[in-house]
Amino acid sequence: MRHVLNRQWADGVAPRPAVFVDRDGTLIAERHYLSDPDQVELLPGVGEAVRRLNQAGVPVIVVTNQSGVARGYFGMDAVERVHQRMVELLAAEGAKLDDLYVCPHQAADGCQCRKPATGMVEAAAAAWNIALAASFVIGDKPCDIDLGRAAGATSILVRTGYGAQWENDDRCQADAVFDGLLPAVEFVMQRLAKAVHARR
C-alpha cells in the first residue's frame, strides 16, 4: 500500500467523518489500466463536488486498486504521474484531495489493502483521526460498495464508470445510488448536516 499526500490532522481533534472516493470511473474517466497522465480526464461535476467537501472541512481521500503495477504493466512512478495530473486538474477547479492510498497488488496476492479489504481505509482512519462509522465510501464497482460495508461506512454507488451496469445487481448492495459524484456529495452533505443537527 502506498499513499501520496498524507497530511495528518492536528492532535487532540475529535474523530470526524471523511469521504473515501474511488479513482477510475468515479473521479476520472475509466481508462483500462491507465498509465498515461495525458489521458486523465475529470468526470463532469467532480471538481465542484470535491470543492464542496473541501469548503465543509470534510477530508477527501482516494482509495484505488492498481493491479497493473503487480502485473508489470507499469510502475508506481506511472501511477504517481497520473495522480499528479489529477491533482493539477482538481486544483484548476479550486479543489484538492487530502490524501491518496494505492493498492498495487493483484487479488491473488492476498494483501489486506486491495478493495474490498479494509486496509487502506483503516490506515487512513489512523492517520487522519477518522470515524469510519460516520464516513462514506463512493465508487462505481462492487469492491467499493463492499469496502464501505466492511468498514461500517455508508456506501454510495455512482452510475459513472461501471456503476450503471451494477446498479440492479444483487451482488452490489449500495446504501444509495446517484448519477455521479456531485449528487452523491450533495447527499453526503445532507446526511452530515442532519447528524450535526441531531447532536444539538
Which residues belong to the active site? 22, 24
Question: Among all chains, which residue has been given the C-alpha cell 487522519?
Answer: 128
In our burial notation (b when 16+ CB lie closer than 10 A, e otherwise), range 62-79 reads: bbbbbbbbbeeebeeebb
If you write DSSP's letter for every residue of 38-64 in order, what string do you get? GG--BPTTHHHHHHHHHHHT--EEEEE
> Which residue, chain included where needed, has cell 455512482?
158
Query: In 3-state terms, what secondary structure has residue 156?
Result: strand
DSSP 161-196: TTHHHHTT-TT---SEEESSHHHHHHHHHHHHHHHH
User: Which grid cell is 110?
Assistant: 492476498
Question: What is the rounded CA–CA span in Å between residue 30 and residue 151?
Answer: 25
